[in-house]
Amino acid sequence: MYCYARDEVCQQLGIIELDYFGLQYIGEKGEQLWLNLRNDITRQLMHSPPYRFRLRVKFFVEPHYILQETTRHQFYLNIKQEFFEGRMKAPSHIQAVRTAALIAQVELGNHSQQTSRVVGAGYTAFAPSNSDKNFSVAVAVAHGKLEGLERTAAEYKLLQEVSTWNCYGVEYHKIRSGSAQVDQMGVGPNGIALYDKDGKLVKTIEYPAIRMATLTRKCLFLETVCDDGSTTILNFQLHSQKAANGLYRCVTEMYSFYLCDTVRSTVASQYSRDLKGILAALFNENTTLEKRMIMLGDSCIGLRWQLALKERLRQVGSQRPTVANSNRVQTFNDYMLLEERVRKIEDALTCHVCMDRNINCAFCPCGHVVCCLICANKLDKCPLCRSEVEKTQQIYLPNLHIADLELTVPLTSS
């Protein structure tokens, strides 16, 4: 039974980009858990209603992918809270000051003596935890340089700033015991990061290297592919079965959202090609059997290509450094460059209005080629030169895809 609680909350807020959000609650042992929308609420929370949830951003994306101001504001609220509470740490002091100044611009508007009196000397209200007085003074100076910046523009600049941090969109889970003396695991858009008790980075695992994720009671097992092509299994034990289940869902859902090509058709047609859609239902949440996700499904063609390329490069690198081998590596590099060029060409041949169908018409008399016939019939003026459109002429452009390229690389010496 699908739970519509998140959808109803987003509807009340006017948010139609639902797939970025989730409802979070606190478990019996203090775990931060996400409500599974595929199951009924009463099957996940043992106590009686009323239930208390927090609407949170579950999947963070770069700000230019966000279409609604309301959605962007929710991203801002999440980042502001995590920044103040110290869960999202800036890579440098300068970036932390710039972020706090942008928050001050959003909350107070332009810098003035009145805002200084409201906040108090030193802007202490906009400093994260464990910061000194010099930090708040620097924030006040940086805030003064943002004079005239609109609040919506300040929110956007804040998202642009924070989206470059390594901790952007990372969800942290406490590990009780397991491989490599790991104390904490961070799961984010780029993969998994493992930290020790001192907060030092121990190991990073990119999503293409994950082959299988398995959940057994309080333990999560990750089968990964090493650089030499061998596989290794990492095990992580958590404090409770619900915490382990939450980490398992986090890994598999993050993997699916950021790496797989599964997009809900209604979302894809309503927004843009870049928006990753809602996730497919993978497992029954309350089953007592072992859960397992094979990371090489049909929707992960890009992943399989990356692993195959990595394996071929390994084989080439293991051979003696001859001129022939050097040429093969160069051929792989040429292939990757060619692939990027083909994708750029495909983007250029896509309608600039709907960003979905291919360009297949030209405007007359200006001659600009920018959109498809369906969109052209709704336009009175050319989107580029703004000249009047007297008629549209259908044209036929070539369809170019990577699969059409016949570029092979020999792995055996000639």
Residue 347 lies in a domain: no
Whether residues 191 and 278 fall in one domain: yes
Q: Does residue 351 lie in a domain region? A: no
Query: 125, 141, 162 — which closes off a domain?
Result: 162
Check whether residue 177 and residue 269 sit in a common domain.
yes
Q: 19, 276 in Cβ contact below 8 A?
A: yes
pLDDT tens track for 302-324: 344 444 444 544 554 444 444 44
Give the tens place of pLDDT for each residue, 283-296.
333 443 444 555 54
Does residue 218 share a domain with residue 267? yes
* Mean pLDDT value of segment 255-274: 48
Q: Are 363 and 389 in contact (CB under 8 A)?
A: yes
The DSSP call for residue 348 is H
What is the mean pLDDT of the segment spanning 314-340? 52
- C-beta separation of 101 from 139 below 8 A: yes
Average pLDDT over all residues of the chain: 76
Domain count, the chain: 3
Residue 206 CA: distances (Å) to CA of 57, 125, 251: 22, 37, 11
Which residue range(s) make up the domain with 189? Answer: 171-294
pLDDT at 81: 92
Domain-terminating residue out of 123, 139, 162:
162
Q: Is residue 412 part of a domain?
A: no
Instruction: Write the single-letter amino acid at 234.
Output: L
Within-domain flag for 197: yes
Residue 109 and residue 117 in contact, taking contact as beta carbons nearer than 8 Å: no
- pLDDT at position 241: 87
The verdict on 177 and 326 lying in the same domain is no
Same domain, yes or no, for 262 and 322? no
Contact of 351 with 358, CB cutoff 8 Å: yes
> Strand 361-364 to strand 32-34: parallel, antiparallel, or no bridges (unpaired)?
unpaired
Residues 194, 308 share a domain: no
CATH code for the domain in which residue 265 is found? 2.30.29.30
Q: Which two tokens stand for residue 346?
A: 């495909």
CB atoms near residue 79 (< 10 Å):
24
Q: How far apart are CA 26 and CA 281, in angstroms?
A: 23
CATH at residue 139: 1.20.80.10
| Same domain membership, residue 139 and residue 23 | yes
Q: Is residue 414 part of a domain?
A: no
* Domain final residue, candidates 162, 191, 222: 162
What is the per-residue pLDDT across 158-203, written as a single tens digit (0 to 9) for each? 999 999 999 999 999 998 876 667 889 999 998 999 998 888 888 8
Which candidate, 395, 331, 330, 338, places its Cα nearest to that of 363? 395
- The more confidently predicted of residues 112 and 179 is 112
Give the separation between CA 376 and CA 383, rounded to whole angstroms: 10
Q: Looking at residue 96, what is its pLDDT?
A: 92
Asked if the structure places residue 355 within a domain, the reply is: no
Residues 115 and 198 in one domain: no
- 404: in domain: no
The answer on 156 and 57 residing in a single domain is yes
Q: Which pLDDT tens digit goes with each residue over 211-237?
A: 888 888 889 999 888 888 888 999 999
Cα-based torsion angle of the residue sequence 58, 60, 61, 67 in order, rounded to the nearest 10 degrees: 60
Same domain, 79 and 201: no
Q: What is the pLDDT of residues 372-391, one digit of tens each?
A: 898 898 888 888 888 899 98
User: 268-280 pLDDT, tens per residue?
Assistant: 333 333 333 333 3
Do 178 and 277 fall into the same domain? yes
The answer on 78 and 29 residing in a single domain is yes
Long-range contacts of 265-269 (CB under 8 A, 24+ apart): 267/19, 269/356
DSSP per residue over 146-166, as a string?
A: TTT--HHHHHHHHHHHHTTST
The pLDDT value given to residue 229: 81
Has residue 140 got a pLDDT over 80?
A: yes
Average pLDDT over residues 252-281: 49
Residues 6+ apart with CB under 8 A from 111: 104, 105, 140, 143, 144, 146, 147
Q: Does residue 116 form part of some domain?
A: yes
